Amino acid sequence: MKRLIEKAEILIEALPYIRKFYGKTFVIKYGGAAQTRDDLKDAFAQDVVLLNYIGINTVIVHGGGPKISEMMSKMGKTPTFVHGQRVTDEETIDIVEMVLGGLVNKEIVTLINRHGGKAVGLTGKDAGLIRASRKLIKRPSPETGTDEIIDLGLVGEVVEVVPDVLVGLERNGFIPVVAPVGAGAEQETLNINADYVAASLAAALRAEKLILMTDVPGIIDGEGRTLSSIRKDDIEELLDEGTISGGMIPKVQACIDVLESGVGKTHIVDGRVPHCLLLEIFTEEGIGTEIVK
């Protein structure tokens, strides 16, 4: 009987959060280990379906970089990266679109539907969802030391989001699953960083939460402790100190930017923990780092 009561207490602990978030929208970036391990895939799908059934609208944005690199290798192409960005020529963008919009996207859709959800796969090109422009980056020239412009090819950054298709799907109980490619000025396909796509969709939808699933426990301070909660201004200090570095920088920057657009909170959670979404959303302690304005 004691164990049954403990289960009831867990549900009661979640009640205030269920009430608070009913009818709200969460945008979730799905990637990392949670996208590769079978047990974590199932836990993720179950979390998303549960959120949907209790009245929380979810929009999923997924990555798929390792699968793209794997497919490129099979086709005799060597992936090239500059500052963490994949250099994408016309042959590579065909592979990107095939893997992200086809293989990976449909796998996630099937997984969610298998657990009782109603997922629908999209890319940023569908219904004019994401308009993008080509992304250029600067780096110091080894010869002169001055900045030089690097053309990454068919790599984009979000210019505009027209979320009508997402709103329509949400209104009818569907779960949109979005592959991070968009349409350029000439309707060419552009490969876009999934964290930035998720942030852009969250801003356009005025989402309650943006949640980024990663392979780290959260934001780590200078003493190696995981921060449960942090203000935007304090994050900027950690960036200036170099405490936040590497691949965490674009994730944190996406979180900071989206808070300025009206999104309530952002979260960075450890996707290696089963049911990390439920643990972060419906418990007082959470398991990752929430970033507030």
Domain annotation for the chain: domains and CATH numbers = 27-292 (3.40.1160.10)
**What is the spatial distance between Cα 2 and Cα 277, in angstroms, rounded to a whole number?**
26
Note the pLDDT tens digit of each residue in 13-64: 888 999 999 999 999 999 888 888 899 999 999 999 999 999 999 999 999 9
Q: ∠ CA(171), CA(172), CA(175), 5° rounding? A: 90
Q: pLDDT grade, residue 293 (50/70/90)?
A: confident
Note the pLDDT tens digit of each residue in 90-138: 999 999 999 999 999 999 999 999 999 999 999 999 999 999 999 888 7
**What is the spatial distance between Cα 54 and Cα 251, in angstroms, rounded to a whole number?**
28
Note the pLDDT tens digit of each residue in 182-238: 999 999 999 999 999 999 999 999 999 999 998 888 888 877 788 888 888 888 788
| pTM of the predicted model as reported, rounded to 2 decimal places | 0.91
In this structure, which amino acid lies at residue 83?
A: H
Only one residue has tokens 């065909």, namely 94
Neighbour tally for 20: CB within 10 Å:
10
Which of 210, 200, 123 has its CA nearest to residue 158?
200
Provide the token pair at 113: 């539907």
